[in-house]
Structure 1
């Protein structure tokens, strides 16, 4: 509820995610990506309502109470790299204290080895050992991001939700973080990466899900999405075309308010292919919700982009 009215922040979001797989969830800000992650972990505001099913490792998340979520889900079955990492760190505890406590809670590490395990966890996320005794307010945005990633990786949870995990990082650290997340999946776990960074998504994703106005409008194999034949939904094509390495042409217009969605296709007002048929809401069929799917090759990346993507790629 917002201002006394019902807002469907996410609707009809259906997908599966296998062990060993990375699904990249992409879309503009405000389309519902982070709301989806929060719903899976029971972190929505008290006036929010959820419906449907979401099962991880035998636990139905949307029906679970706070006791189950706190004791058996968060960190253990589902790890989280939060969108705002500094807000998830206790301000009166150092990064080292956060890491050591998490190691003790989520692993069977002997007490005498906890300190070393915490340092190892920091190294996985490229968090410098020299900053382990700093408090959250002493960290830059990039360092807070790396601390949150280190904490999320400790439990080796069957599912890892990484919400904008590369925010505030330079390109080398983006690649390091993306590769470490990919390693989490390669070890037999699932990774849902919510991101605006399509370069990082291309680097490690197996599949791509595109969200617009609270709804998943396309799910595609990452190789076909970023390569040939490219995305089928006009909005997804627009996201790729906006990249500097491609057309560098932004998607025209602005996304609609989630509380004031049109009755038909929510993207129609911004879509060059829209017709009267788009006044009806398209069904999601064969991985696509669109009356006028795009055909032909999408805008290609430049040679410079292709060279960057090829360095150190860990895609399975």
Structure 2
């Protein structure tokens, strides 16, 4: 399938240069008696200077997407599609087909960083924060003479005191551990950063501080994929928004447009659940990823569903994005 990338116009730093182009990414997990349809036919383009927020309910496939791009899925995963990472020199690199050796040596950390969703399982319990950051910096080119200063600078950027660096992970609060894994991801200064719920466990000032750090990376020419349940966070910093539901991206477009007038009924329902809007829960429950319907997965929860929704909708382009819906919230002439 050809990727249809939305126009990006909400932030002046976004360029037309594609940094990552994901085409038809599909991830399946084979279980003993079932198959988990974790990600289905996903197309995304992320440009230099862009902050893309991926939003949706738990279990829709957001984190699986990030792990698939870095080859961090378990052995029962089957991954198909392409994910082309454009490099400063040389041809694009397909992250899904370059092999573990190259991912480990040339991609993870240096070209694509990851802020993991669960710091407790990501941090080495027998290394202090200082040693973890210093080892990361040395692995990516810093010398022994400057690594100490650089480690404290990176820690300060995420709001960690120097004394915090001399603690082991089990001595850190959840919020401090979250800031430490953020520092580890930022230390090598990768062009692309995958941030999976990076504000978990942080109080509001630190949430805003972390979001501002991510925004600054984009304004300096990098790119960030922000995976989040926090729609307020996405609204604060995102250029573009991708809405995932039941393993698929159902809406992908300009962030300002999305928060003003979402196009997919599910996106509208998510925004209506916010306290400053209708404060109305999305009715019903998402389908099991082991038993997805053949048509539109959102149809059982959608007030606009008709018989047409028994067939799976393809992508439809509109002025600032794409949507997968038979009955999008668009004027008839805009379809």
> Could you state the TM-score of these two structures normalised by the residue count of structure 1?
0.91
Offset at residue 264 of structure 1 (A): 0.4
1:265 aligned residue: 296
2:197 aligned residue: 164
The answer to whether residue 259 in structure 2 is matched with residue 238 in structure 1 is no
- The counterpart of 1:16, out of the listed 36, 45, 58, is 45
Give the secondary-structure state (helix, strand or coil) at the position aligned to 1:258: coil
- The counterpart of 2:287, out of the listed 237, 242, 256, is 256
Give the secondary-structure state (helix, strand or coil) at the position aligned to 1:9: strand
CA-to-partner distance for each residue in 1:123-147, whole Å, 9 max, x for gaps? 1111222211111111111111100
Offset at residue 6 of structure 1 (A): 2.2
CA-to-partner distance for each residue in 1:59-105, whole Å, 9 max, x for gaps? 21000211111000100110000011121110000000001111111
Map 1:152-191 → 2, pairs under 5 A: 152-191=185-224
The runs of 5 or more residues in structure 1 that have no matched partner are 297-316
2:240 aligned residue: 207
Cα distance change of structure 1 residues 9 and 244 upon mapping to structure 2, 3 Å threshold? same
Offset at residue 185 of structure 1 (A): 1.2
| Total equivalences in the alignment | 293
Offset at residue 3 of structure 1 (A): 2.7
**C-alpha separation in 2, matches of 1:77 and 1:171:** 30
**C-alpha separation in 2, matches of 1:119 and 1:3:** 48
- The counterpart of 2:97, out of the listed 59, 63, 69, is 63
2:71 aligned residue: 42
- The counterpart of 1:79, out of the listed 98, 106, 113, is 113
**C-alpha separation in 2, matches of 1:242 and 1:128:** 37
The runs of at least 4 consecutive aligned structure 1 residues that moved more than 6 Å come to: none
Asked if the contact 1:220–1:231 (Cα under 8 Å) also holds between the matched residues in 2, the reply is no
2:14 aligned residue: none
2:170 aligned residue: 137
Offset at residue 5 of structure 1 (A): 2.6
More strand, by proportion: 2
Offset at residue 295 of structure 1 (A): 4.4
- The counterpart of 2:327, out of the listed 284, 289, 292, is 292
Q: Which moved more, 1:240-249 or 1:31-40?
A: 240-249
The runs of 5 or more residues in structure 2 that have no matched partner are 1-29
**C-alpha separation in 2, matches of 1:39 and 1:152:** 17
Offset at residue 48 of structure 1 (A): 0.4
Give the secondary-structure state (helix, strand or coil) at the position aligned to 2:43: coil
Offset at residue 31 of structure 1 (A): 0.1
CA-to-partner distance for each residue in 1:203-233, whole Å, 9 max, x for gaps? 1100000000000000110111112xx1110
**C-alpha separation in 1, matches of 2:315 and 2:177:** 38
Give the secondary-structure state (helix, strand or coil) at the position aligned to 1:53: strand
- The counterpart of 1:26, out of the listed 46, 55, 74, is 55
**C-alpha separation in 1, matches of 2:160 and 2:249:** 34
Compute the RMSD of aligned alpha carbons: 1.1
**C-alpha separation in 1, matches of 2:245 and 2:281:** 15
The answer to whether residue 309 in structure 2 is matched with residue 275 in structure 1 is no
